[in-house]
Structure 1
Amino acid sequence: MTVTSLRFKDDQYKQVKDLAKFYGISVTEFMRQTILEKINDENDYQDAMENLKKSHGETVKRTEILKRLNLK
C-alpha cells in the first residue's frame, strides 16, 4: 500500500470535508473513491474512443442494439 499527501487551499478542503460528511465517510475515503471513480471514467472513455476508431465512425441505433441483445 502507498500513502500520499495532497495540498488544498482551505476553502477547497472545506468543500471536500463537507462532501465527505454528507456521504457519511471520512475525507480520506471520499478522496480515494473520487480518484478511483475518475480513473474508471477515463478508462471507459478510452475504451469508447478505441471502439469508435475501430468502427470507422459507424453507429448503430439504440433500437438495433436492443434487438441484438434480445431486449426488445
Structure 2
Amino acid sequence: MGIGVSIFFLTIGAILKFAIEPDVLGSSVHIDVIGVIFMIVGAVGLLLSFFLISRRGTVVETELPHRENHPPTV
C-alpha cells in the first residue's frame, strides 16, 4: 500500500467517523466504527510505507574474495 492509498484510507475513515451520522444506515451498521477501522488501516499503511521507503535507499555491496583459476586436482 502506498502513501497515497494510506492517506485515502485516513480521509475516508475520518469522513465516516466525524462527518456522517452514526445511525444513517440503521442501528445494525456502525459507520463510526468502520471509520475508525479505516483510519487504523491508513495509519498502519502510512507507517509501513515510510519504513519501506527508508529501507529502499540502503544498498550494501560486498566484494567477494578473488579466487585464482587453478586446475582441479585429481
**What TM-score, normalized by structure 2, do the two folds share?**
0.42
Structure number with higher helix proportion: 1
Tell me: higher relative CO, structure 1 or 2? Use CA pairs within 8 A at least 6 residues apart. 2
